[in-house]
Each structure stands twice: as C-alpha cells, then as structure tokens.
Amino acid sequence: MKSSLMLLFIAIFLGASGQILLKYATERMGEINLEWSAIPFTLLNIFRSPWIITGICFFVASMILWIKVISTMELSKAYPSISLSYIIVFVFSVLLFKETVTLTKVIGMVLVSIGVFFLQQ
C-alpha cells in the first residue's frame, strides 16, 4: 500500500507538471487557432514544441502509473487524490506565470486538501 501511495503521488505530480508544461508552451506560441484552414499549421506548431512533447510524455507516464495504482488501490480512495493536482498547478501558476492569488482561491485549495484527507480515511 505504501508503494501504491508513492506511485499515486508521482502520477499526480507528473500530470500536474504536464499541465504546467503545456501552459508554458502555449504562452510561447500564442493563442491556438483551431479554424479548419489553420488546423494543419497549428498541429505542426504544436508537435514541434519540445515543451508540448515533454508535457505529453509526462501525461503518458502519469497514465501508466495511474493504471498501476488503480490495480492495487481502491478507486474511491485513489481518484479523489487527483484533485491534489489542482493545488500543485495553482502554486506553480502563481510562481511561474504570476497568476493572481485571491482569498477564495486559497480557501478552495484548503477545502480540497481537507476533502482529500477525509476521503483517504
């Protein structure tokens, strides 16, 4: 069970890191255009970005670890833990992207943490 928890937290961290890498990449690329005429060019730009490729690799690694975790852990305990990624993304969004911190966001993060704690019991 201890190793499952460790793998769970690694999977969560990898998934959150993937989100952060995708955000970093899109900030460098600018707004993504999904109009029919622009899709080929957009896809080419997306898949030429090493940040996006790395983010996708993080997601794949997270998914593989997730499959391992749910093979040994109750889904009703494992799945709510994914919400910890909200906290990781929030912290790194503030640190890396200078996103705003509000009291309601902080209260939300505290409530998520409390909820995850109780669901693990």
What's the domain count of the chain?
1
Q: Provide the pLDDT for residue 69.
A: 95
Is residue 46 within 8 Å of 52, Cβ to Cβ? yes
Give the whole-angstrom CA distance, residue 54 versus residue 18.
7
The pTM assigned to this predicted structure is 0.87
**Residue 69, amino acid:** V
Domain extent at residue 85:
2-119
Give the whole-angstrom CA distance, residue 32 versus residue 47.
12
Q: Provide the pLDDT for residue 50.
A: 96
Q: Provide the pLDDT for residue 115.
A: 87
pLDDT per residue over 6-33, tens digit each?
999 999 999 999 999 999 999 999 888 8
Q: Dmax over Cα atoms in the chain, in whole Å?
A: 52
Q: Provide the pLDDT for residue 10.
A: 96
pLDDT per residue over 109-120, tens digit each?
999 889 888 887
> In angstroms, how far is CA 35 from the centroid of its own chain?
26
